[in-house]
A and B are shown apart, each in its own frame.
Chain A
């Protein structure tokens, strides 16, 4: 380590201490702790390389191999999700394992007891409250100023593993990301990689492990898939390594690909360690300071305004509210019209389809020869199902489309309300964005902003849900009467999903036997089974000629019933749904507006004192200046190559 490097480091530390001073004086605890940790880490000049991946990718196995261990005492390996804690490994002359507990306790333990603290098997749900383990020893494979970290697998059923993992990620300087050849990158792994990216970790050693278990073509498939996805999420990995951690752990370092892998890690560290560490340090400080700066900016912005200014913003809001009123009514009316038109068309279509189905069925039965008639009787349920399905399907699709379009249009033309980064409130309307309030008081904005975000997405979600419900309703043939709403909400619409092509024809099952049941539960008990029971006995009892008449009669009755159900119960329900959607969207916007107004009133009535404002702006200026200085500093640091 040369002098330039050291003096740069000292400068950086000094700078970060200045930042810390300012933060301490404005009393922001989270940022202070984070920066203190960063300084401690930076002073130790140890590079933290963490092994990350989903459960069972072979992280602990690889770690044992990298440490040059012959057994899995220090990093237990298992077929089931195992590692349940963060374990940090360093080189030292003597063996020592320290357990740090959540409650601040620490305990030194012998190596053979590590398993009791770091595995799901022996520390279920982390009931022992372990925070982290620091394990030192004369590990033959470990560089002296490198710290290797084993982590719990991501996305397993054990929630606390993820919590630990996510909290740890920002502390890593670089990561080894393990996937397997058997499972190409999936959504969980992409999420994890995004976390790595969000923590501003620039170096990822991406390795496909367990290659000994897969064929060459399968590995090729995986490489292609992984390369594409990595590019898509913008994670730059330079190379995809192929390794077998298990072979390496069993002693075959060269054959397993791990030797070459280690070589590259070592080369990277030799060339880049100083730069990466100082970049990482700077970036950690920045990330910690950023939210503080933002909060200060908002608070200052609103305190710069006089009560009169805020008052006039409030008036602008009222004005705006009145203006969007006519706009929203227009959108609502357009929607209502489109909706009821769609229902009308559907209703008309139903009547046509009904006659058509009746005609088709009658002629089909008519054309059936006397010899085939009993087999037709047996197939009647299927025939009915299919005929109704075939004829209703296009109509239902058309209805769905027009209803969906109406919903989309309503969504697109309805005024919306947004709260921007610095507390600017804007209403989007047909004429574009109109900012109605420059910014609000910090806390008030935060409160209003949160409420708005959730209210906004709730509105969107409810539209989606209502839309889906509308669609489900249109496609439900066995229109339940009394319980219709209930059954739909229970997901019983599967009774007759039309669009899927398997319509269950609604048939009262032995109506006479249980009148009470039918009266109360309506068509819940109507199923294909019913008609099956109804149709089959005919073939035994009635002569073939008469059978034909019976079938015709039964199927006509059936068809009429089905369509009547739709017309008398489904259609009115669908009509009503249109109204509900409008009411819902109206209510949501009203709620949002109300929240904003309340926040503005608060900002106007509770204003910080002048002294307070001066203090705040001092902090803000000092922080800003420091962060700016740091940026220049960083430019200097990275322009000087570190010599080792």
Chain B
């Protein structure tokens, strides 16, 4: 594929979105409308990813309470940064950002002050964060918008930010259900570009987490991290993959089987083999793919080309079944605008190859 600049891709995605969205409004057939609306959602997600191509790219580690998100992050980072505990723990999103010196900064929802501490070592950071975790209860999750930790960790850099998030589905004494969730939802909506969804091998994927995924991050998630899978044989992993292949309704997720606990232990013992067995390096490689802006751009492009193919296929099927004339698929003025824009761009041409046949 030839190279298109991010700016051009952005424009093409926007125009594609306009075409699909306007046509969706214009169609009288409910089925077509809903398929086009689905396409709009996918494009919006693509758009959301592109926005940050040149800026920060926040990978959110998201999942039910206590599945082991913080443990997994510690294993990935090779440092005991985030506090972990058996029970609801992480109270506000914790962003890990590249920085020369160790520093913790707290952002509040209703206040301009951003208290910030520089830390001597990882242990001090851990202590700081532990003070803010749920157990202490001093800083309620609802007031802290996020905590950012600057550290010079190998995985960070190139604008990549990894965020540990509060779990959802927690039941907490003395608090209304879902106090953590409020903190999480806003963060997911506003700041996260890509989600790694952590689920627990021994529990499978439940109704609540699936519906949370559908509502808040399905569009920006391709990766399901199955943690706690230390004693899962490859045969069982395969069965797991098959059983949950459909969680994204159609789109195939990538499953990564890991053990956060074993990974963190291996890091401490500097045992490369165990680390490998815990699946951490593989996950790291996948994250590195995202660190590379060109890689991200390519992923988005691939995604929208696939969307064009899928649309083409669906519309064609629908037409063949309904025996409708072709020319009615797109709203005419939207179509002519779409055709006029950047006709020479290779990506545009590829998309046209799929969509153009309908006019």
Which A residues have a C-beta under 8 Å from some C-beta of B? 54-56, 79-81, 155-157, 159, 162, 180-190, 214, 217-219, 221-222, 224-225, 228-229, 231-232, 381, 393-394, 397, 483, 486, 490-492, 494-495, 497, 499-502, 504, 509-510, 514, 516-517, 520-521, 524-525, 527-530, 532-533
Contacts and interface: CB of A to CB of B under 8 A. Distances in A.
B66 interface: yes
Given A79-B232, A81-B204, A156-B206, A502 B14 contact: no
A436 to B, nearest CB: 34
A500 B190 contact: yes
B203 A500 contact: no
Given A187-B170, A490-B40, A527-B51, A222 B207 contact: no
Contacts of B73: none
Contact of B202 (A182, A186, A228, A500): A182
A184 B86 contact: yes
A190 B21 contact: no
Contact of A184 (B87, B109, B186): B87
Contact residue range for chain B?
35 or more
Nearest to A162: B207
A81 B5 CA distance: 47
A500 B186 contact: yes
Given A186-B171, A529-B53, A524 B107 contact: no
Given A80-B204, A529-B54, A187 B87 contact: no
Interface in B191-248: 191, 200-208, 210, 228, 232, 236, 239-240, 243-244, 247
Contacts of A188: 169, 206-208
B10 A80 contact: no
10 contacts: A79-B240, A80-B239, A183-B66, A186-B169, A186-B170, A186-B171, A224-B87, A229-B171, A229-B172, A486-B21
10 cross-chain pairs, A with B, having the tightest CB-CB distances, nearest first = A228-B173, A221-B86, A218-B86, A500-B190, A497-B190, A225-B87, A525-B14, A187-B171, A524-B14, A155-B206
Nearest to A188: B208
Interface string B100-120: 000000010110100000000
B11 A509 contact: yes
Given A54-B206, A524-B14, A529 B240 contact: no
Interface in B147-194: 169-174, 177-178, 186-187, 189-191
B272 interface: no
A156 B207 contact: yes
Nearest to B237: A79
Nearest to B107: A501
B301 interface: no
A219 to B, nearest CB: 8
Contacts of B172: 229
B337 interface: yes
Contacts of A222: 86-87
A190 B15 CA distance: 47
Nearest to A514: B341
A412 B41 CA distance: 37
B340 interface: yes
A305 to B, nearest CB: 42
Interface centre among A183, A524, A533 (most CB of B within 10 A): A183
Given A186-B170, A495-B51, A528-B55, A517 B15 contact: yes
B48 interface: yes
Interface of A is mostly: helix
B174 A232 contact: yes
Contacts of B48: 494
Contacts of A218: 86
Contacts of B204: 55-56, 80-81, 156-157
Contact of B44 (A381, A490, A509): A490
A306 B172 CA distance: 53
A524 B18 contact: yes
A524 B172 CA distance: 41
Contacts of A184: 66, 86-87
B145 interface: yes
A56 B44 CA distance: 37
A189 B7 contact: no
A483 B24 CA distance: 14
B206 A190 contact: no
A157 B210 contact: yes
B164 to A, nearest CB: 17
B251 interface: no
B64 interface: yes
Contact of B14 (A182, A491, A521): A521
Contacts of A159: 207
Contacts of B187: 500
A384 to B, nearest CB: 13
Interface string B319-350: 00000000000000000010011100000000
A329 to B, nearest CB: 34
Interface in B1-31: 5-7, 10-11, 14-15, 17-18, 21
Given A186-B171, A509-B7, A520-B337, A221 B87 contact: yes
Contacts of B87: 184, 221-222, 224-225
A55 B178 CA distance: 21
B66 A516 contact: no
B268 interface: no
B85 interface: yes
A349 to B, nearest CB: 15
A186 B64 contact: yes
Contacts of A525: 10-11, 14
A529 B200 CA distance: 38
B145 A214 contact: no
Nearest to B87: A225
B171 to A, nearest CB: 5
A525 B16 CA distance: 12
Contacts of B189: 491, 494, 497
Contact of A520 (B18, B55, B65, B66): B18
B137 to A, nearest CB: 13
A394 B206 contact: no
A60 B18 CA distance: 53
Contacts of B170: 186-187
Given A54-B206, A157-B210, A184-B86, A514 B11 contact: yes
Nearest to A228: B173
B184 to A, nearest CB: 13
A500 B145 contact: yes
A494 B186 CA distance: 10
Contacts of A214: 86
Contacts of A185: 171
A55 B208 CA distance: 12
Nearest to B201: A79
A516 B14 CA distance: 13
Contacts of B65: 186
A80 B14 contact: no
A325 to B, nearest CB: 36
Contact of B11 (A224, A393, A517): A517
